[in-house]
């Protein structure tokens, strides 16, 4: 997978950056620096092209996931992160997925469905219309959900569904409500607090 790895301070955790639709591995680098410039960064480019825009998995329409492709891409992404951890010498369990939009969505799929353990996740503008298919205990995990009250892509009900999914797993949830489908300073500050407490 196309990616960037940036080494941080020794023993510092690693951010796993997952961009939104139409983005690439450079998009969230400034966010990582704002969250904590000492952390290492693994920033990954989605392998799917939708009308020339990079994505992490296929869909049939807005909010209509290609579930088979999502499963396939999720497994590939988890395997790649494990390989990258060996190659670059970081601890997967000390890494933190940081996703925006489509990147948040595949992060949720990975957290819920793969045998890969993270200590925290920062999910900006997430949408995950599926349900949990097997019991998952995430009581060890701190999760930031930054959601838009007037998001044109993700409805309030869809945002509440994401909250409910993480409540089912016992995760420690921090909710931040912003205006739209966006990254905001409030979301960055909340993310800083979540990783400090992880």
Terminal Cα distance for the chain, rounded: 28
Among 40, 151, 159, 198, the active-site one is 151
27 classed as catalytic? no
151 classed as catalytic? yes
Measured CA angle at 87 (ends 16, 91), to 5 deg: 50
The domains of the chain, with CATH numbers, are 3-197 (3.40.50.1820)
For residue 8, the model assigns a pLDDT of 97
CA distance 56 to 34: 24
Q: What is the mean pLDDT of each run of 10 residues along the chain (198 residues)?
A: 97 97 98 98 97 95 90 98 97 97 98 94 97 90 98 97 97 98 97 96
For residue 135, the model assigns a pLDDT of 86
Between helices 102-113 and 67-88, what is the axis angle to 10°? 80
101 classed as catalytic? yes
Q: Which alpha helices (DSSP H) does 64-154 contain, by range?
A: 67-88, 102-113
User: pTM score, two decimals?
Assistant: 0.97
For residue 111, the model assigns a pLDDT of 97
The helix/strand/coil state of 167 is helix
Among 101, 104, 146, 159, the active-site one is 101
């Amino acid at each position: 997978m196309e990616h960037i790895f940036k080494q941080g301070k020794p023993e510092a955790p690693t951010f796993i950056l997952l961009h939104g639709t139409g983005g690439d591995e450079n998009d969230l680098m400034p966010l990582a620096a704002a969250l904590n410039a000492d952390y290492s960064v693994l920033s990954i480019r989605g392998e799917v092209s939708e009308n020339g825009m990079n994505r992490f998995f296929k869909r049939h329409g807005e909010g209509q996931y290609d579930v088979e492709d999502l499963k396939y891409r999720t497994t590939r992404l988890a395997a790649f992160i494990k390989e990258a951890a060996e190659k670059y010498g970081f601890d997967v369990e000390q890494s933190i997925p940081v996703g925006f939009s489509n990147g948040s969505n595949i992060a949720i799929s990975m957290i819920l469905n793969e045998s890969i353990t993270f200590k925290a996740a920062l999910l900006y503008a997430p949408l995950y219309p599926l349900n949990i298919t097997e019991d998952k205990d995430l009581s060890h995990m701190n999760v930031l959900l930054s959601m838009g009250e007037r998001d044109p892509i993700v409805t309030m009900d869809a945002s509440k569904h994401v909250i409910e999914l993480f409540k089912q797993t016992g995760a420690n949830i921090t909710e931040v409500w912003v205006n739209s489908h966006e990254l905001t300073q409030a979301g960055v500050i909340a993310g800083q607090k979540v990783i400090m407490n992880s």
